[in-house]
């Protein structure tokens, strides 16, 4: 009876994570189809699902951005320290949760629009709790961001090639992998940035750092 209950819990937990990763994959697929400074805002909103629009102003100019946040962080940690009052017990219970299929997931993506066309895109994926911050920066296990300038009027004008070279660059430090690409990077390279295997969030083996 206990084994059956554990099996039901594990199956339900993994199914929830699976459907969550499917949503993330849909967003990544849409982002991979974007061509910076070519894809229009209307085209982008049809390519990338689950987006929320946000308008903001800077130096008297109005800008439009879109973002999406997909996470199970509202669940809270399965067995936090304050509940057990012991790091050792919390760690052990966390391991049990992992065996049952519970894995922390947090995904953020953002798109900036200028003059009716996409000028910047980024995303970040985390497998442990982190402070809220912009997608594409530190704190995630995998990040990607474009560097072709979304330059505010009056700021220093630097071309994407002068700013970062070559057109596509991968950087790894500790447990993080970051990709940076320019607007003129070959599509066959940029598509690889968005092709992630997310099965570790719901499969038998957890995501290794």
pTM here is 0.80
Please enumerate in sequence order all residues whose Cβ is within 8 A of that of 38, keeping only pairs 6 or more positions apart, or say none.
117, 118
Q: Which of 165, 170, 117 is nearest to 144 (CA)?
A: 170
- pLDDT confidence of 151, banded at 50, 70, 90? very low
DSSP letters, 170-199, are: EEEETTEEEEEE-TTS-HHHHHHHT----G
For residue range 57-80, what is the model confidence (pLDDT) as tens digits? 777 777 789 999 999 887 655 555
Q: In the chain, where does DSSP find H-type helix?
A: 2-32, 41-47, 81-84, 87-99, 160-163, 187-193
pLDDT at position 14 is 93
What are the angstrom distances between the C-alpha of 52 and each of 39, 67, 106, 146?
18, 5, 17, 20
Domain boundaries, the chain: 2-201
Given a contact cutoff of 8 angstroms between Cβ atoms, the answer to whether 111 and 51 are in contact is yes
Q: Which of 119, 109, 108, 123 is nearest to 34 (CA)?
A: 119
- pLDDT confidence of 199, banded at 50, 70, 90? very high
């Amino acid at each position: 009876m206990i084994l059956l209950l554990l099996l039901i819990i594990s199956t339900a937990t993994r199914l929830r994570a699976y459907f969550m990763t499917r949503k993330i994959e849909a967003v990544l697929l849409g982002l991979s189809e974007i061509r910076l400074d070519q894809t229009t805002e209307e085209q982008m909103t049809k390519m990338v699902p689950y987006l929320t629009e946000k308008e903001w102003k800077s130096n008297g100019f109005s800008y439009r951005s879109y973002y999406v946040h997909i996470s199970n962080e509202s669940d809270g940690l399965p067995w936090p320290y304050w509940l057990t009052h012991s790091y050792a017990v919390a760690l052990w219970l966390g391991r049990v949760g992992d065996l049952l299929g519970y894995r922390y997931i947090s995904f953020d993506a953002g798109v900036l629009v200028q003059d009716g066309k996409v000028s910047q895109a980024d995303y970040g994926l985390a497998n442990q709790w982190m402070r809220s911050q912009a997608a594409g920066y530190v704190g995630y296990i995998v990040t990607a961001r474009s560097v072709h300038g979304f330059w505010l009027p009056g700021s220093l004008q630097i071309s994407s090639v002068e700013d970062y070279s070559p057109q596509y660059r991968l950087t790894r430090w500790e447990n993080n992998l970051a990709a940076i690409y320019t607007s003129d990077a070959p599509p066959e390279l940029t598509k690889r940035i968005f092709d992630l295997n997310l099965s570790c969030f719901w499969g038998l083996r957890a995501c290794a750092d």
